[in-house]
Amino acid sequence: MIRDVLRMGDPRLLQPSEPVARFGTRELETLLQDMRDTMAAHNGAGLAAPQIGVPLRVVIFGVEFNPRYPDAEPVPYTELVNPMLTPVGDEQEDGWEGCLSVPGLRGVVPRHTRLRYVGFDPEGNRIERDANGFHARVVQHECDHLDGILYPMRMTDMRRFGYTQVLFPDAAGEED
């Protein structure tokens, strides 16, 4: 079921989320189905459970070709529960981000270039991956939602924050 996405200003987006205690449950599967439906409906690159008002440490992400990110490299579709992120090295890089909870806007955010993430799939099987570039950026953005952090809170240069249609007038088909 497509759920409403909370928008910046809603205090629920600023709350830390709780770990999932039990895997393989009907409740968790229903949550993930709603997250898949909601992300697909908005052409999102990722979605975190608190964005639909569920304060649990669950994120989904993945990019094949995404009209919101036409130049982005592909990211494997992943459902990640109780994630833990560890930066690899000190390197950071700037990149443009958007968020379904901050519709119509884009901003440049510094992120760790490389990281290792571990967590579990919805059945409780362990996931462990190294990621870099856009993949690493998406994971950091989504997992920030689990700690109540929205990307504008990570920005260091507010001059590179603005409306998508103004910044990128040639990007057709943007819905937010």
The residues binding Ni ion (CB under 5 A) are: 99
Q: 72 or 99: whose CB is closer to Ni ion?
A: 99
Which amino acid, 99?
A: C
Closest separation in Å from C-beta 169 to Ni ion: 23
CA–CA separation, 162 and 19 (whole Å): 34
- The least CB distance from residue 15 to Ni ion, in Å, is 15
Query: From the candidates 18, 29, 93, 142, which is the catalytic residue?
Result: 142
Other Cβ atoms within 10 Å of 4 Cβ, number: 9
Residue at token pair 């519709």: 103
- Would you say 39 and 175 are in contact if contact means Cβ atoms under 8 Å apart? no
Q: Count of residues for the chain?
A: 176
Residue among 58 and 99 whose Cβ is closer to Ni ion: 99
Instruction: State the minimum distance, in angstroms, from the CB of residue 102 to Ni ion.
Output: 7
Return the number of the residue (152 or 162) whose C-beta is nearest Ni ion. Answer: 152
Which amino acid would we find at residue 141?
Answer: H
With respect to Ni ion, which residue has the nearer C-beta, 81 or 138? Answer: 138
**What's the CA gap between 58 and 85, in Å, rounded?**
13
Q: Respond yes or no: is residue 142 known to be catalytic.
A: yes
165 touches 104 (CB < 8 A): yes
Task: Please state the closest distance from residue 106 (CB atom) to Ni ion, in A.
Answer: 12
Q: Taking CB positions, which residue lies at the least distance from Ni ion?
A: 99
What positions carry a catalytic annotation? Answer: 142
